[in-house]
Amino acid sequence: MTDDITLKLLNWYDSEKRILPWRNLDRKKIDPYKLWISEVMLQQTTVNTVKNRYKKFLKRFPDIFILSQSSSEEVLEEWAGLGYYSRARNLHIASKIIVDKFNGKIPSDEKNLISLPGIGAYISGAIRAIAFNKKALAVDVNAERIITRFYNLKSKTEFKKISLSDFYSLIPESRPGDFAEAIMDLGSMICKKLNPICTKCPLKMDCKSFKNLEFNTISKKKKYKKSRNGKCFVIKRNIDDKMLFVRNPTKGLLGGMLSFPSYGWFYTDQDAILKKRINAYVKNLSFKKNKKTMIFHEFSHFKLNLKIYYAETYNLDLENGIWIHVDVAKDKLPTLMKKVIIKLFG
């Protein structure tokens, strides 16, 4: 029975698999470094967004040695717009550890993989299965949804206690990487969160939810997102038309990213420091009323109302800050700050 289910899935995968830039049909030629980059990027980011950014990232950091020798600012700039910037910071830190501790070789065992910053059970399982052809679980939200429906589970307790061991038994010794990617594709293409295409699913005749005509996943309470209010200051230096930018504190939201001076919404100990520093910049400036506006941005756990203040000056003494032309800076900025540019300058 187990072999039959696995065979159905793999046969479907052989004919329907997605062609993706980080996939290599020859398992012996898979580069664990490139796979690792793709899996980190794909966390919280859609496949379509990652496709082009993955190629661009690898062009700048083609191997782990170049990545480890680069500055954190360079890595964050290349990550700009992808969000969840702790992923990039962890990626950079982990690359240094891999070079120093493992001679630049991505480890293939679970213990060493999970010890690296930013690598949890899912990425560890994906790397071990796909890059090293080891029998390993790679359970992300797609796999969780498939498992939940396949066994018609009603609670997280059932999922943890019953399904994972059963699911592990489906992984073939000969093709664990193909099995992992087949589950990824099945979740993305067929067993979707909304409106699953059950009639095209290779596992439908074995799926308990399909047999019972029940297709809901385990329900999760929708979290209410509180709103935060912040201020952002856009200051242009008229002598050369450059804008004032700062580096955010390393930890926290937009950590280490290039940004317009902003405060009031970070909700960390750094917020008071930022406020004091920024107010020292702007206390003698005259802000244009017609350039005072508001933008709205949604993070994973809160909504932000950001008031923008615009001023021009011929001289501004700085202790912390960088003057950069907006056209040069915009590709290095997080999405929030790109919204500020669009709001003010179109």
Q: What are the structure tokens assigned to 267, written together?
A: 């909700």
Among 272, 264, 265, 281, which Cα is nearest to 322's?
A: 281
Q: In whole angstroms, what is the distance from residue 71 CA to residue 75 CA?
A: 7
Q: Report the distance separating Cα 49 and Cα 42, nearest Å.
A: 9
Q: Give the residue from 343, 307, 331 showing the smallest Cα distance to 78.
A: 331
- Secondary structure (DSSP) of 49-114: HHHHHHHHHHHHS-SHHHHHHS-HHHHHHHHTTS--THHHHHHHHHHHHHHHHHTTPPP-SHHHHH
**Side chain identity at residue 170, one-letter code:** L
Question: What residues act catalytically?
Answer: 39
Task: Provide Rg for the chain, Cα atoms.
Answer: 24
